Chain A
């Protein structure tokens, strides 16, 4: 509960402060949240149990309760959120909007909503937090965005909102036609029986909402535009945390419907995910705008995570969950890097950049570490997830596994191209503009690099956090009885 209240309280405080005080307060708030999360993790028994935080009546007439609880999976997602937020604030520290109380308040509001999404145990509550998370990011992009911000952010808002409405419909179908005994409570919905044709439409509603959020091919077209136009902080929120809502939603809210719907659906979605991997990778190869390049690369990476989830195996889910954390770290890292470059060189075009490594070797090394994490070189975080994910996809369908495996080749192609044209090559006169990293940038990037290596070298504790929860979840799903 505190995890939601702390950011909300500090978001409210932002109304009364100005300038640097506001930034410091916001940073302090996120650090407190992070500390709190770490305490929760260290206090968690790692046995896959669900710990209730709060459970009160909310809207009695509709059977809606305000229920928050966490297990290993939720903890991992909360960890990602609360780890990312301080870094996002550090990334915007030297930007003008980073000093704006409005921006900081919105970011904190977003944090509260995201944590709510991951902890909610009631369908409607989940939906409410889901939509709540959309509002701050809309304003962040619409106020501080770049060229064409109005058109693009409006499209983003409408597109994702369009999807969520179907999720609400799906929820209502699930509850009204299923035999749920306890309203919209997750556990009760999961254990309820539902006619398979209704389940099909309900699943479709959920899948559409999540697929747009991810985004899954071919629902992705809002993504590159929005990532490109949003301010760096917004892009990080979007790519680092927000799209994980969709993946998390698939795991927790869509998979329980699969037994009712049948496996064909999953196969179809896996194919979409794998198409997305190859499609995103190939398009990323020739992008000139670094942000757009990373946006498409993100689409490819997320496609792989989704494909892992769709295998519905322990490995696939475990790999997906750790890769969500990893993708959060590397995506935020890469957008951070791009922002650092853009702030100094006033461009993100690869054709206009060259030889930055010459003027700032430290920056180049950190970029390289993040890139290697994304390219999935062993002993970086990306490898851990991709190895397990590819294995799970390969085990469930060898052909899809091989096609998905192409990502490790393509990823090297486009990210090394990015490195080549920005960091390497002859250093030009414009590079004088490349001032040394500020302390905020140094700490932010340094922390990310640290995590890239830590998870890569010793991933076992991270798997341990979720292993039992995932296997509990899977056995719960396997026990679902389908209506004859």
Chain B
């Protein structure tokens, strides 16, 4: 398997090349099947790698070739499959192949069908590079590669100017993070002389704390860009312009979790500087709350999910912030299941509604879309932390770890999870229950999606239900923290953290579950029994209006960053460049011309004057020579 490691990213690349070059001439079935099969092939290979790692407990690694050698630095294209990588690989290729399958149905009418599959395959390739590289350089390759794919896929319907704008926004905001990451890599290179994980980690013992903190913060800047944390989160909701499978794959399950992966991968570094972790925790907490508040007043089904993703990523960062790396990875995994499920479910809804995304125009879809409804219900229960679903276990674990660290943070995070439960249930009930509020045509058109779309939903629903058993807390059942044990060999924890006793953990779990149930019941009463609907935008007042308008953060960025830069650009060009700099260059030219014009008068063509000048010249020469 070790030698074949390169095949895992190579398969999707081959799929990309074939679909990208010949896709236009191939029939759609072939394109879709090819696109799906290469990813599925990668999944099978990842599974084999996973089993081998599990068997031996040793990481697999394979160096393909030397990318470049310069000034004593050597950069290899080398792959690594350890416990952390294989976990990510399974998520990426597993959910990836399901979403490819789904896309066959979802995109079947689109003329860019082949292009879509080519891009998706390219994305899988980049994402695999990101997690499979055995050095930060390859991670960076993947990091930027997924950014590019995200750009291409958000702007997939390129004829729409708004979508193009969203795509550019995503790319540029990611790039801001990328700059931070790149600078972090430079500092690592300065210190370790290599970007190989092994060598970097080995050199950490000689790294000063200040430098470690600096590197940690720079890498985190990269993570905030990719994983949509404050202050760089605004691109993710806009990224919903892309086709829904893209939102499910890139903007929920895989790409946005790259930031988590990066920090877990660098856990040895972060554990050196708990202060940086503290910052990460607070940023995550702020994001979780803030995005949750915005989500309450969103009426676009995908926007709600997008803000919920931002918020859930915040949860993961809080987990990282308290040093619970494996817990973050656990939530990453379960979130990938249920969020991909809900995005695909929303895709199925949008498909049925003929492109309508506003939940105010839906309602009562449960009758027509039975499978979608049921699977969506599973996803919603998972995200609100309904007991025994996957989200229940992972979210509880985060809450417990946070409680260990700081009860105040725990309280705020509990609030965030209550908010989550509220907006998710609100969306769920408004969409699937009550009476239909759309047009007559839409009602007539309502239909369940084809099997290629519902099959992935069902698989993901099962995973969302059962995914929690990957890591059942120790106080419930001894030796069942599989994921935690699995990651133990690749993660370095902050030393000297104490653990809670079991009764506290039971108590915390009870509080969280009770809260979820209360909100479930109360939203049911409000939105189903009383049949309340979402208010129209113009009826909103005060804080609700702010929430509906996303707290005007986009406008803020626009007026603080974008507008000034554009103004400087215009001003710089017209005044500084054309005016001052070019002006002074031209001034030199002009002054020579003016001087020439002045002196030209002397040259009047009259020989007598020339003679006079000559005589005067001789006269002065003589005066100089003999008199002075």
Contact = CB atoms under 8 A, between A and B. Distances in A.
A and B touch in the complex (CB under 8 A): yes
B186 A394 contact: yes
A69 interface: no
Nearest to A457: B67
B434 to A, nearest CB: 37
B239 to A, nearest CB: 15
Contact of A315 (B67, B71, B568, B573): B71
Contacts of A285: 565-566, 569
Nearest to B143: A378
B148 interface: yes
Contacts of B577: 221, 283
Interface stretch (A39-47, A328-336, A413-421): A413-421
Interface string B53-80: 0000000000001111111010000000
A405 B179 CA distance: 7
Contacts of A286: 566, 569-570, 573
A88 interface: no
A318 B71 contact: yes
A357 B190 CA distance: 43
A292 B71 CA distance: 36
B166 to A, nearest CB: 11
Contact of B182 (A282, A372, A408): A408
B159 interface: yes
Contacts of B569: 282-286
B521 interface: no
B589 interface: yes
Contact of A282 (B175, B568, B582): B568
Interface string B272-303: 00000000000000000000000000000000
A255 interface: no
Contacts of A357: 158
A424 interface: yes
A394 B215 CA distance: 14
Interface string B153-192: 0010011110011001001100110110011001001100
Contact of A460 (B66, B155, B165): B66
B144 interface: yes
A458 interface: yes
A416 B70 contact: no
Contacts of B68: 384, 459-460, 463
Contacts of A406: 179
Contact of A408 (B151, B161, B175): B175
A391 B182 CA distance: 9
A158 B589 contact: yes
Interface string A450-484: 00000000111001100100000000000000000
A271 interface: no
A241 B416 CA distance: 58
B164 A420 contact: yes
Contacts of B589: 155, 158
A72 B331 CA distance: 53
Contacts of B148: 372, 377
Contact of B67 (A390, A459, A467): A459
Nearest to B179: A405
Interface range, A side: 35 or more
Contacts of A97: none
Interface in B133-163: 140-141, 144-145, 148, 151, 155, 158-161
Which residue of B68, B164, B582 has the most chain A CB atoms within 10 A of its CB atom?
B68
Contacts of A402: 183
Interface in A389-408: 390-391, 394-395, 401-402, 405-406, 408
A45 to B, nearest CB: 18
B208 to A, nearest CB: 15
Contact of A279 (B190, B572, B582): B572
Given A155-B589, A286-B570, A355 B159 contact: yes
B67 A159 contact: no
A143 interface: no
Contacts of B161: 420, 424-426
B70 A412 contact: no
Interface in A347-405: 355, 357-358, 372, 377-379, 383-384, 387-388, 390-391, 394-395, 401-402, 405
B525 interface: no
A460 B67 contact: yes
Given A318-B71, A409-B172, 9 more contacts: A158-B589, A282-B568, A319-B70, A379-B145, A401-B183, A402-B183, A416-B172, A460-B68, A467-B70
28 contacts: A155-B585, A220-B581, A221-B577, A221-B585, A283-B569, A283-B573, A283-B577, A286-B570, A287-B573, A315-B70, A315-B73, A358-B159, A377-B144, A378-B140, A384-B68, A390-B186, A405-B183, A409-B179, A412-B171, A416-B172, A424-B158, A424-B161, A424-B164, A425-B159, A458-B65, A460-B68, A463-B68, A463-B69
Interface of B: 65-71, 73, 140-141, 144-145, 148, 151, 155, 158-161, 164-165, 168, 171-172, 175-176, 178-179, 182-183, 186, 189-190, 565-566, 568-570, 572-573, 577, 581-582, 585-586, 589
